[in-house]
Amino acid sequence: MKEGTDLGNINDFKLSLQRKAQTTLEKIVNFIVEDGEIQVINNEEADTIVLGIKTSNPGALIGRHGHTLDALQYIVNIITNKEIEEPERRKIIVDIEGYKERREDIVSKYAREKAEIVKKTGKKIALCYMNAVERRIVHLVLQEEPLLSTYSEGKEPFRRVIIVPEENKNNINNTEEE
């Protein structure tokens, strides 16, 4: 539990970081598009700042496979959290017109489709290369599947999730135990 006065200071601090993140992102974005506006999106988590970009040209900011959006988020995190000590740092998430949510739906659906094939054929499948956030979505979506397991292999940016059928999963476990 935090005391009232502390909480007030923490909020001021978060607000100043929020402004810094917002201004930095706005400046960078408007080198790529002409009408970029940055909104702060309310979220529950105290250590996270969510920024949403509004523009008539979202494609230019998302880029192929979302690489430009990833790069924007990454750089804004570095610049905003510079000179801030670890416990005070805030994670900044940059989204654009609900892209990340849509992407989550697409990745989940794709993972489920491939999982069905693995169950039918009993053979493992390697999914396409994904970033850490998307691989995490796959692991979570298939976590409760009793007949399957998942793991990641390869080196970034060529890291991908492998879906393995239960049979193989047991084999792996057995060899480990023997």
Partner 1 sequence: MRELIELIIKGIVDNPNQVEINEIIGEKSSIFEIKVDPNDIGKVIGKQGRNIKSIRTIVNAAAQKDDKRVVIEIVD
Shortest Å, Cβ 59 to partner 1: 10
- 75 touches partner 1 (CB under 8 A): yes
How far apart, in whole angstroms, are the C-alpha atoms of residue 69 and residue 62?
5
Q: Give the one residue of 26, 52, 65, 70 binding partner 1; rule: CB under 8 A.
A: 70
* Of 69-77, 84-92, 146-154, 160-168: span binding partner 1 (CB under 8 A): 69-77
Beta bridge partners of 52: 39, 95
Pattern 98-137, binding to partner 1, x per CB under 8 A? ----------------------------------------
**Closest CB to partner 1 among residues 51, 142:** 51
- 91 touches partner 1 (CB under 8 A): no
Q: Give the one residue of 50, 61, 94, 118 binding partner 1; rule: CB under 8 A.
A: 61
- 158 touches partner 1 (CB under 8 A): no
**Closest CB to partner 1 among residues 21, 138:** 21
- Is-cis flag, bond preceding 157, omega within 30? yes
Contact residues toward partner 1 (CB under 8 A) are 24, 27-28, 31-32, 60-61, 63, 67-68, 70-72, 74-75, 78-79, 82, 156
